[in-house]
Amino acid sequence: MPKRITHYSVLIEWDSVERVWVTHVPAFNYLSTYGKTREEALDQTREAIIGYLEAAEKEGMPFPSGDIKAELVELEVATP
């Protein structure tokens, strides 16, 4: 049986303190991981999602859908 392909929104940001790329996946309760490069962070994220889905299948839990859309917006805030 062919595997189904699902697309998930991933937020990715540079952490200048730790000097790594950090990802967050909203569909998985903001599951998060990191990598030294963008590609490594996204590969780690893909592996984390696969691990989550394998555990969910084993436990009979429903799979999160790819329906949650994340949006990065700029918010203006007055600061002291």
Give me the DSSP letters along 23-74. Answer: EEEGGGTTEEEEESSHHHHHHHHHHHHHHHHHHHHHHTPPPPPTT-------
Q: Mean pLDDT over residues 35-61, rounded?
A: 95
CA dist., res. 41 & res. 70, Å (int): 18
pLDDT tier, 22 (very low <50, low <70, confident <90, very high otherwise): very high
Domains of the chain by residue range: 1-80
Whole-model pTM?
0.81
| Of 22, 78, 28, residue with least CA distance to 52 | 28
pLDDT tier, 6 (very low <50, low <70, confident <90, very high otherwise): confident
CA dist., res. 10 & res. 22, Å (int): 10
pLDDT at 4: 81
Q: Which residue has the higher pLDDT, 69 or 61?
A: 61
Q: Mean pLDDT over residues 57-75, rounded?
A: 82
> From 3.30.750.24, 3.40.50.720, 3.40.50.450, 3.30.160.250, which CATH number describes the 1-80 domain?
3.30.160.250
